[in-house]
Amino acid sequence: MTDEVLDGGCLCGAVRYRARGAARWVAHCHCRSCRRNSGAAVLTFAGFASDRFSYLKGEPQRFQSSPGVWRSFCARCGTPLTYEADRYGPEVHVTIGTFDHPESLQPTVHVWTAERIPWLHIDDELPRYRATPRGGADPER
């Protein structure tokens, strides 16, 4: 495990966090639930082991968006921060736009492209999955 430290937080600064070590993965998610949570056409996450992620300041609100799924956000400014799901075990998915230096996290895949907004055209060579590769989904291409 690397000793890399990645700090971040919400828009207003009420919540600050730290992720230690390299991200397990970085993915663009196109699912409807992430779009509604963020208000964006696509949401990009970096995955970390839960024991490598901690809050430095403040405590976010948690919302159970579906059975076994929790999303956290700043109760003061509304910034979406994390996604956690029973099906992924002890792992936290952090919205990369909330990192102090999101440019250090390079996406490697698109997931849930079956729910992609049709007018959003993807112009990269990253692998694409109609659902998620963890669920055994076949690549889109």
The string of pLDDT tens digits covering residues 4-17 is 999 999 999 999 99
User: Would residue 140 count as lying in a domain?
Assistant: no
User: Would residue 141 count as lying in a domain?
Assistant: no
**Predicted TM-score of the model (pTM):** 0.91
Question: 58-113 pLDDT, tens per residue?
Answer: 999 999 999 999 999 999 999 999 999 999 999 999 999 999 999 999 999 999 99
User: Would residue 31 count as lying in a domain?
Assistant: yes
Strand-pairing partners, residue 48, are: 92
For the chain, the domain total comes to 1
Distance CA 49, CA 22 (A): 10
Q: For residue 1, is pLDDT > 60? A: no
The pLDDT, as a whole number, for residue 134 is 72
Q: What is the CATH number of the domain that holds 62?
A: 2.170.150.70
The pLDDT, as a whole number, for residue 2 is 59
Domain that holds residue 48: 5-135
Look up tokens 């000793």; give the residue: 3
Q: Edge to edge, what strands does the sheet with 25-29 contain? A: 61-66, 69-73, 80-85, 91-95, 43-49, 25-29, 109-111
What would the two tokens of residue 140 be?
């889109």
Beta strands in the chain (DSSP E): 5-9, 16-20, 25-29, 43-49, 53-57, 61-66, 69-73, 80-85, 91-95, 109-111
